[in-house]
A and B are shown apart, each in its own frame.
Chain A
């Protein structure tokens, strides 16, 4: 009797639980197909209702944000009858926390998204963000005027934009960085250096004449020889288009001749002792701090060497490995998306429009309050005050149109012109604007990534003999389904090209 009762009770509980969890799982999915409908229910600019926008941004939480936010809100109330409530989520936590916030169905309005944090493509595909093309036309005219059009092209998914890109450097370019004291000491002409092979005589010189604790080629295990490839999923994944070869085909990067010859070179360097002996297990290298290095590699932007030299405390000079190229990933380097659950998409777009066009607001959110956090030296040049370092260090590149921000007195006067020049001079990669959807080959992608983590560090840094280990790695990757991924990428790429008549 009692047993029967308990059984019934249990059955009821389990059923309830299951029902409940399906409902919840449903919430996490894309339950927001009806986005065009609610756009009409919002308000126009002159609406009577004051709206509060919930905004999530990436970066360390700042002590003075509430104070600055108050100033912003005064201004925004006048302009668009809106206030904002900004939450900063720390770099390392952002990608962990935003998916939870989104899945819980919270109706926030604006969130930072990019190709490297709270990833734009999968979340847009999942329906987390609102398609914004209509809103851009209506309330984001200023954005369209200011923004390099390639940003919007590059961040389209199936012909729709789901986020407003930040106007900043659009191209990416790898450079060799040199510790200037050694360049001067040996009168080197670094302008002649471009490829890995070009470095040899200089590395030799350092190795022979400097004490043993100076690392000639100071790189950690993440080092990879530069390859002119347009990678499908970043350079940690061995699939890409050879930009000097057939630009219509995705191939296995590890089987390319370019890589083979580079690996020979890097192996030679390793054996000659130009790299650290433990390079294959070196997570990071603090060569900048110790100053005991000659050359390393980095991705650049205009005048980056000034910033590098400033933070190192000694001079660093650079020379390019390649001409700047625009990839899809660089167009999606920093963006602001409007949530699919947002109750006020129009106001959100108006706010984003101001962020990208209004110098006062843009600098307020970036540098804080004049007289408190910085003082003006001239019209658009400022000097930081101590309060900025203590309580208001915001990541400028993640906040909106970078070209509106004030400069510091160390900055060259043509800084932003140089950025625009840099963007204009860049070539567009063959797959620019193509966004690969890895869902059909998810398992293969995951296992390939795991194999890459195991093999890459030792092979790419020359710590092991490539003739022996590269074939092994290729074999393992093929077993994990590399060819299937390449085929899938090719299929999607061809479809995309056909759709865009390229």
Chain B
């Protein structure tokens, strides 16, 4: 950060010395700088605010909420929602574990499969390159749809009620492959591979010792994508999982959401009463959202440095 403000410091020193304003040629005018900062600040706020609000609601007293509605500064603060989750949180903890396992295993597998596939089709001297590129690309345009994939997972692979049903269906992703392939072709110069070959490296050695280390930014990007993908995936569990011990966190949340929608839609039914009484209260739901979102939000800064690097590497022309 300090090197960014260097020209500004120099400029202000210069101003002090001469009493005249002079600016770095490349700097934007202070006024537009302020305007840009305000605009971006507002945008950032509008992104953060809803989540902030959820956090506040999760600390609000349920009764106050029913009477006053949502307030930024509720009259009564309480930890009840979190206490409730801790007490009845056996399912929460279990689901948290499932989500974590699926995310870690799934991301590792995704990275392994996607990078190897993408690297192979990024090499110009690979004979079947076009065919395999097309094979991946084709799946982006045409997919069998829900029912065929359901049949494959349940009746061909027999993955119902197994943790693999949450991992295997999403480990290969054509979009990631295309992104990764492009990344390899632009950042790994052919010359490097040539010279490694001359030095006697095997194909696999070139891949692990030369290509992967210089492609870290791209891998980090795909890693983040798939981490988010696995962490937020609820649909697979909805289809394939009935065993309560294998339900991920997000599916737990979406079930509550679906049940609420159901109650609202069928509010004229006597039965919706019994269902409504089994749903967690508003504050508990918000507390669940906080617990489900926070870990991923906290993981993001660790990827941050790779993104910055990724941008700079990408901007160097060969």
- Residue in A93, A299, A307 whose CB lies within 8 Å of B255: A93
Nearest CB in chain A to that of B90: its residue: A63
Cβ A104 vs Cβ B154 within 8 A: yes
**From B258, B268, B277, contact of A298 by CB (8 A):** B268
- B73 in the interface (beta carbon within 8 A): no
Are B273 and A93 in contact, with the CB atoms below 8 A? no
Does B162 make an interface contact (CB < 8 A)?
no
Q: A290 contacts which chain B residues (CB < 8 A)?
A: 66-67
Asked whether A97 lies within 8 Å of B267 as measured between CB atoms, the reply is: no
Contact A222 B268, CB 8 Å, known A24-B151, A91-B275, A104-B150? yes
Instruction: Say whether A61 contacts B244, CB under 8 Å.
Output: yes
Contact B259 A63 (CB under 8 A): no
Given A289-B66, A395-B274, verify A220-B267 contact (CB < 8 Å): yes
CB distance from B69 to the nearest CB of A (A): 10
Residue in B134, B146, B270 whose CB lies within 8 Å of A10: B134
Q: How far is the CB of A123 from chain B (nearest CB, A)?
A: 15
CB under 8 Å from chain B, chain A span 76-112: 87-93, 96-97, 100-101, 103-106
User: Is B262 a contact of A91 with CB atoms below 8 Å?
Assistant: yes
Is B278 an interface residue when CB atoms closer than 8 A count as contact? yes
Is the CB of A21 closer than 8 A to any CB of chain B? Answer: yes
| A496 CB → nearest B CB, Å | 26
Q: Is A210 an interface residue (CB 8 A)?
A: no
CB atoms of B144 and A24 under 8 A apart: yes
Provided the pairs A284-B264, A397-B271 are in contact, do residues A17 and B142 lie with their beta carbons within 8 angstroms? Answer: yes
Structural contact, A393 and B66, CB atoms closer than 8 A: no
Q: Which residues of A contact B255 (CB under 8 A)?
A: 90, 92-93
A286 CB–B CB distance under 8 Å:
yes
Give the Cβ gap from A119 to chain B, nearest Cβ, in Å: 13
**Is the Cβ of A90 less than 8 Å from the Cβ of B147?**
no
For residue A63, which residues in chain B have a CB less than 8 angstroms away from its CB? 244
Q: Residues 8-20 of chain B: 1 if any A CB is under 8 Å from the residue's CB, otherwise 0?
A: 0000000000000
Which of B130, B155, B262, B277 meets A92, CB within 8 Å? Answer: B262
In the complex, which range does the number of interface residues on chain B fall in? 35 or more
**Is A100 a contact partner of B269 (Cβ separation < 8 A)?**
no
Interface status of A314 (Cβ within 8 A of chain B): no
Indicate if B131 sits at the interface (CB-CB under 8 A): yes
Establish whether residues A92 and B261, one from each chain, have CB atoms under 8 Å apart when the complex forms: yes
CB within 8 Å of B: which A178-228 residues: 213, 220, 222
A104–B238 contact, CB under 8 A? no
**Assembled-state Cα–Cα distance A213/B68 (Å):** 10
B239 contacts the other chain (CB 8 A): yes
- Check B273 against A286 for contact (C-beta < 8 Å): no
A103–B155 CA distance with the chains assembled, in angstroms: 13
Q: Does B213 contact A (CB under 8 A)?
A: no
Chain B residues near A13 (CB-CB < 8 A): 138
Chain A's closest residue to B146 (CB) is A100
In Å, the complex CA distance between A97 and B239 comes to 7
Is B220 interfacial (CB 8 A cutoff)? no
Residues of A within 8 A of B154 (CB): 104, 106
A446 touches B (CB below 8 Å): no
| Residues of B contacting A9 in the complex (Cβ-Cβ under 8 angstroms) | 131
CB of B289 within 8 Å of the partner chain: no
**8 A Cβ contacts from A102-131 to B:** 103-106, 116
- Known A-B contacts A116-B266, A222-B268; the reply to A90 vs B259 at CB < 8 A is yes
Residues of B within 8 A of A103 (CB): 147, 150
CA distance A251 to B209 in the complex (A): 77
Asked if B257 lies at the interface with its beta carbon under 8 angstroms from chain A, I say yes
- Complex: A412 Cα to B257 Cα, angstroms: 35
Task: State whether B269 touches A93 (Cβ < 8 A).
Answer: no
A311 and B273 contact, Cβ closer than 8 Å, known pairs A63-B244, A93-B258, A220-B267:
yes
Assess the A311–B257 pair: CB atoms within 8 A: no
Is the C-beta of B50 less than 8 angstroms from some C-beta in chain A?
Answer: no
**A116-B268 Cα distance, complex, nearest whole Å:** 11
Tell me the smallest distance from the CB of A113 to a CB of chain B, in Å: 15
Q: Is A92 touching B144 in the complex (CB atoms < 8 A)?
A: no
A391 to chain B minimum Cβ distance, whole angstroms, is: 10
In contact, B244 and A91 (Cβ under 8 angstroms): no
Decide if B270 touches A87 in the complex (CB within 8 Å). Answer: no
- Flag whether A436 is at the interface (Cβ < 8 A): no
Say if the beta carbon of B75 comes within 8 Å of chain A.
Answer: no
* B200 adjacent to chain A (CB < 8 Å): no
Q: Is B194 at the interface (CB under 8 A from chain A)?
A: no
**Quick one: CB contact mask for A238-274 with B, threshold 8 Å, 1 for yes?**
0000000000000000000000000000000000000
Q: Does B242 sit within 8 A of A, measured CB to CB? A: yes
Residue of A nearest to B241 (CB): A61
A222 contacts which chain B residues (CB < 8 A)? 267-268
Which residues of B sit under 8 angstroms from A304, Cβ to Cβ? 270
Asked if A6 is at the interface of the complex by the 8 Å CB criterion, the answer is yes
Check A96 against B238 for contact (C-beta < 8 Å).
yes
User: In this assembly, does A69 line the interface, its C-beta being within 8 Å of a C-beta of chain B?
Assistant: no
Partner of B130, one of A6, A27, A60, A298: A6
B243: nearest chain-A partner, CB-CB: A61
A283 adjacent to B264 (CB under 8 Å): yes
Given contacts A21-B148, A106-B155, A311-B277, contact A61 B242 (CB under 8 A): yes
| Smallest beta-carbon distance A386→chain B, Å | 13
Let me know if B260 is at the binding interface, CB within 8 A: yes
Chain A 299-327, CB within 8 Å of chain B: the 1/0 string? 11100100110010000000000000000
> Residue of A at shortest CB range from B258?
A92
Measured CB to CB, the closest approach of chain B to A4, in angstroms, equals 13
* A28 CB–B CB distance under 8 Å: yes
Contact of A300 among B144, B146, B148, B270 (CB under 8 A): B270
Scan B272-283; emit 1 where CB is below 8 A from any A CB, else 0.
Answer: 011101100000
Contacts of A298 in B (CB 8 A): 268, 270
Residues of B within 8 A of A (CB): 66-67, 130-131, 134, 138, 142, 144, 146-148, 150-151, 154-155, 238-239, 242, 244, 255, 257-264, 266-271, 273-275, 277-278
Ordered by A's residue number, 5 sampled pairs between the chains whose C-beta atoms are within 8 Å are A20-B148, A24-B147, A284-B264, A299-B268, A304-B270
